[in-house]
Amino acid sequence: MQLTVLGTDNNRPDEVPFATQPYRRRISRRVMVGDIPVGGLAPVSVQTMTKTKTHDIVATVAQIQRCAEAGADIIRVTVNDKEAAESIGEIVRQSNVPIVADIHFNHIFALKAIEGGVAKVRINPGNIGSRERIKEVLTKAKERGIPIRIGVNSGSLERDILLKHGYPTAEALYESAMRHADIAADCGFDDVVISVKSTDVRLMIEAYRMIAEKTDFPLHLGVTEAGTIRVGTIKSAVGIGTLLAEGIGDTVRVSLTDEPEKEVEVGKEILRTIGLAQRSVEIIACPTCGRLEVDLFTITNELEERLKGIKKPVKIALLGCVVNGPGEASDADIGIAAGKGVGILYRKGEIVRRIKESEIVQAVYDEVMAFQTED
């Protein structure tokens, strides 16, 4: 298999690690997941996975719709039993976003999902079975023109690879991914996306860097089984964010022990923080201290809830004291510098008016609704 070393061109010296280069997006080959491009410098897409029982079509489609409204570009659905395999076609028909079939253990379910019209199939090299079964899935995917994600997890590596390396290492994850990429190449199949996930953030980062350095496959980033909303968000932001900041990664999935919409929200926020997605409403609030003279906790929470789902690229600054308040508030699109039960409302650096604390939430909401971006 021919491996390509990546950079902004193919003339970068091989001995210079990709991660040490000044920021630039890694150039990968492009695949299409439905109408969503992944790789080839396409915008980084955000994925999630449904958490319903797949055979419950009504509940699964409803969850897909909520995730799409939250901004999911691609949604993965487990096809883990006969009932799920029989349901996936109808789920695909009712979905307005590309659906990926998540397959473990049984390659027949992958074939059924492809027949059902999924936009991509994820297989786990550690449990999908023999080379012949994999080739059968690849052949069917090629006929339908859909990509395959080789989804390697540190917790389910092939036995021989685990015995060879002793325990999950970056080299072991890389070897597993390349073994199955080679099988795909032998079948003349190159619409491949790769992920090398781990619960260990450092291991995950190292493995992705290795794949990025040595191949041109598009990469699906994620920290597997990241945890609750607090811990999972931190682990995902560190792991995914580090790689994105180095120019590595084409699509992301944040794994949380929470509703999938939350995964989408965190994923979108990681992209916005790195500067890889257009801002929607962004609220900046001071951490508060003993100088605080308004109930900034309530104001911030109420505004966040009121503005949820609004797509306007507006930066809001909420400051609760006179030290940094005026400067920070005037630097945002819409700002509040508050103190002693009142707030000064700013718009594009200009003072608009003085308002009561009880009026702040409504006043800022009205400003956002009336906000127009400059041409």
Mean pLDDT of 54-79: 97
* Residue 116 three-state SS: coil
How far from 246 is each of 39, 148, 209, 319, CA to CA, in Å? 15, 25, 9, 32
The answer to whether residue 17 scores a pLDDT higher than 70 is no
Distance CA 175, CA 180 (A): 9
- What is the rounded (10 degree) CA torsion for 319, 321, 326, 328? -40
Give domain 18-274's CATH number out of 3.30.1330.10, 3.90.730.10, 3.40.50.2020, 3.20.20.20: 3.20.20.20
Q: What residue spans define the domains of the chain?
A: 18-274, 282-370
CATH topology of domain 282-370: Sulfite Reductase Hemoprotein; domain 1 (3.30.413)
Coil/strand/helix, residue 359: helix
Confidence tier at 90 by pLDDT (50, 70, 90) = very high
For residue 140 the two structure tokens come to: 């069917």
Given this model, what pLDDT does residue 292 score?
Answer: 82
* pLDDT grade for 280, boundaries at 50, 70 and 90: confident
The pLDDT, as a whole number, for residue 277 is 84
DSSP letter, residue 25: P
Model pLDDT for residues 195-253, shown as the tens digit of each residue: 999 999 999 999 999 999 999 999 999 998 878 999 999 999 999 999 999 999 999 99
Average pLDDT over residues 23-42: 94
In this structure, the strands spanning 342-347 and 350-356 are antiparallel
**Rounded-to-integer distance, Cα 14 and Cα 334, Å:** 47
Contact present, 312 and 374 (Cβ < 8 Å): no
Question: Tens digit of pLDDT for each residue in 306-353?
Answer: 998 787 889 899 988 766 667 777 778 999 988 888 999 999 889 999
Long-range CB contacts (within 8 A, 24+) of 298-303: 299/336, 299/357, 299/360, 299/361, 302/361, 303/361, 303/364, 303/365
User: What's the half-sphere exposure (Cβ side, CA atoms, 13 Å) at 151?
Assistant: 26
Pairing mode of beta strands 99-103, 251-253? unpaired
pLDDT bucket at 58, cuts 50 / 70 / 90 = very high
- Whether 18-274 shares its CATH topology with 282-370 is answered no
Higher pLDDT, 360 or 226: 360
If you write DSSP's letter for every residue of 207-271 in order, what string do you get? HHHHHHHH----BEE--TT--SHHHHHHHHHHHHHHHHHTT--SEEE---SS-HHHHHHHHHHHH
The pTM of this model reads: 0.83
